Structure 1
């Protein structure tokens, strides 16, 4: 497990992860992975994790840990994970400087 400044978790996202984890009785660890697919080529996948794998890269904020596998990190390096609430709903959002295009749903991107 490596701490990094290559990816960040906003305080809004950390607060939301902590609330979800507490409600589900799980550790406050959010895993971000990138899968092939989605309407733009790649899609973000979020889930609560029990822990970090030995080759994961991690970032911490306010007692919450964000974990990313090294393959996904290549696609999200320099990104920030945020939690956004607006008229369209509430969701985790990745502000990814590597994405050349995205889609309307905000969960899919291309590089």
Structure 2
């Protein structure tokens, strides 16, 4: 898995599997976004029965204080507040009969809700 960073804080940043990168790049392309500038923003927000949940969206460019990494051609943007909760995580894409989607494997989690949609660190 190739990875480059745009700032020094990315040492413990989020990793991305090849499958997740391919899926996200396909979605970015479908939105007509320039993958050399645009990327996937991964963030943590208050919510869910365990207290925190993940959010993802496409952004045209990173914010000045974001940690920016690149994996398999996909740029990932993470703001400093979210990085505290998800550093060292792996973004994966799971497909199957129960539905397909992105999944964050977070080593910082101390508990998750029963449905797996929210967590606590």
TM-score, scaled to structure 1: 0.91
In structure 1, which of residues 11, 14, 34 is the aligned counterpart of residue 18 of structure 2? 11
Change (3 A) 1:86 1:104: farther
Using the alignment, how far apart are the partners of 1:21 and 1:35 within structure 2? Answer: 22
Q: Tell me which moved more, 4-13 or 74-83.
A: 4-13
Max Rg structure = 2
Structure 2-normalised TM-score?
Answer: 0.84
Residues 52, 67 of structure 1: 8 Å contact kept: yes
Give the CA deviation at 1:2.
Answer: 2.0
The structure carrying a bigger strand percent of its residues is: 1
**2: CA distance between counterparts of 1:27 and 1:68?**
18
Correspondences of 1:27-106 after superposition (within 5 Å): 27-28=34-35, 29-106=39-116
Q: Contact 1:31–1:67 (CA<8 Å) still a contact in 2?
A: yes
CA distance in 2, matches of 1:41, 1:109: 6
Q: Deviations over 1:48-69 (max 9, x none)?
A: 1111111000221111111100
Task: Note the alpha carbon deviations across 1:6-59, whole angstroms, 9 max, x for none.
Answer: 121111111011100111101341000100111211000000111111100022
For residues 102 and 86 of structure 1, the distance between their equivalents in structure 2, rounded to whole angstroms, comes to 22
RMSD: 1.4
In structure 1, runs of 5+ residues without a counterpart are none
- Paired residue total: 111
